[in-house]
Amino acid sequence: MKKRLFHRGHNIENASGAPDGWKTTINGSVITNKLTLVKKSIDWWCDMKAFMPPEKFEGVGNQTKQAAQKIEDYKGFKLINDNGEANGWYVMLAGKLLKGSPAAIKKHLDLVLLKRQQAQQQR
């Protein structure tokens, strides 16, 4: 049984019934892939007037899921790593951004806290 859809002026059909068996023609090129990726190719063609094969969209959206945000609490400060890199950690300290490895940031925070403590004792 053939399944057919109409999306932004393009007929999309699936004759095989497979999840990645959807196909259509964009600018003379026949493309076959998953329905969501075929629709993204059509959207790209309609919006940008440039052909983009569905394979180009396969990794988009998965990258953010793979790089999960890591947060570590250190003496009341939140060390954050968004990208998963070893030196991709950062923290906000007195309105300034500190970036680097967790060990380097912790060492700097210890120095700042020690200086604050000494300043309070002198008062």
The pLDDT value given to residue 61? 59
Which is it for the CA torsion 47, 50, 54, 59, positive or negative?
negative
User: Around 93, how many Cα atoms within 13 Å sit in the side-chain half-sphere?
Assistant: 19
Which is it for the CA torsion 30, 6, 36, 13, positive or negative?
negative
Query: pTM of the full predicted structure?
Result: 0.50
pLDDT block averages, 10 residues each, the chain of length 123: 90 88 92 92 90 83 60 91 86 89 94 93 87
Assigned token pair, 90: 């950062």
Which is it for the CA torsion 100, 101, 107, 112, positive or negative?
positive
Q: Please tell me the distance from the alpha carbon of residue 69 to that of residue 65, in angstroms, as a whole number.
A: 9
The pLDDT value given to residue 63? 52
The pLDDT value given to residue 95? 84
- Listed in sequence order, the residues at least 6 apart from 97 whose beta carbon sits closer than 8 Å to its beta carbon are 90, 91
The pLDDT value given to residue 7? 93
